[in-house]
């Protein structure tokens, strides 16, 4: 038995290393799966045709700084006014635990300089992380509920917003292989709704 004992320890160590490696690979694959599902061009045309209370909104999310991590430049606009987007952000997608992911939100300085740059993402090589501003408390925490299916949200009242009399904004997000479902709403200090879709989330279908 004494002769077998060191051999058994070696086997246990090797088994542990293999399991750890498999977990790391799985984690990388899931992060890549989420990132791939998020990137591309989307719009809500189908939803707007079914229900006129929803606008046809374009959503473009394209990778930038590919050597620094998983960053996306995000641009949102009324589909017929894509030269005048109402939201421009940079998202940083990371894994935060075995079961959760985070999409941190950054603001750009001089938004107008970046309109349409989702078409030429290399343009962002002229700036770096020090040139953008983290919107603290606005990150979306996502959980993988099935292959190519993630659900998440911001904190209930952690994302400060002053738009249209709001005190904070709340986002609920569902990401699938072919669509992004997003419900962004603003609330005042008393928790009363002040902006955003009233009935439910916008459904953005992937175009490419």
Question: pLDDT, tens digit, for every residue of 93-108?
Answer: 999 998 899 999 999 9
pLDDT attached to residue 17: 45
State how many domains the chain has.
1
Between CA 193 and CA 166 the distance in angstroms is 8
pLDDT attached to residue 1: 44
Structure tokens at 2: 């004494």
Residue whose C-alpha is closest to residue 90's, from 57, 121, 120: 121
Domain coverage including residue 9: 4-206
Between CA 176 and CA 179 the distance in angstroms is 5
Weakly modelled stretches of the chain, pLDDT under 70? 1-25, 27
Between CA 58 and CA 164 the distance in angstroms is 22
Between the CA atoms of 12, 16, 18 and 22, what dihedral angle is there, to the nearest 10 degrees? Answer: 150
Structure tokens at 30: 């899931």
Nearest 5°: phi and psi at 90? Answer: -120, 130
Between CA 130 and CA 33 the distance in angstroms is 28
Between CA 118 and CA 62 the distance in angstroms is 6
pLDDT attached to residue 23: 58
Number of H helices, E strands in the chain: 2, 13
The CATH number linked to 19 is 2.40.128.590
Mean pLDDT of the chain: 90
Q: Which residue has the tokens 């694959």?
A: 29
Number of Cβ within a 10 Å radius of residue 78: 13
């Amino acid at each position: 038995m004494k002769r077998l004992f060191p051999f058994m320890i070696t086997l246990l160590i090797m088994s542990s290393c293999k399991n750890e490696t498999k977990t790391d690979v799985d984690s990388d694959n899931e992060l890549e799966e989420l990132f791939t599902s998020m990137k591309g061009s989307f719009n809500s045309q189908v939803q707007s045709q079914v229900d006129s209370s929803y606008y046809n909104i374009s959503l473009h999310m394209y990778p930038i700084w590919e050597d620094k991590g998983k960053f996306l430049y995000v641009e949102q606009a009324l589909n017929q006014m894509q030269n005048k987007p109402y939201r421009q952000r940079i998202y940083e997608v990371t894994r935060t635990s075995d079961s959760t992911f985070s999409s941190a939100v950054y603001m750009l300085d001089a938004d107008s300089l970046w309109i349409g740059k989702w078409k030429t993402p290399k343009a962002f090589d002229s700036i770096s992380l020090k040139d953008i501003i983290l919107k603290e408390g606005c990150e979306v925490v996502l959980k993988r509920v099935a292959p190519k299916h993630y659900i998440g949200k911001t904190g209930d009242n952690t994302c400060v917003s002053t738009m249209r009399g709001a005190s904070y904004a709340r986002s609920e997000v569902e990401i699938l292989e072919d669509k992004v479902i997003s419900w962004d709403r603003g609330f005042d200090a008393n928790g009363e709704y002040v902006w955003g879709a009233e009935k439910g989330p916008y459904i953005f279908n992937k175009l490419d």
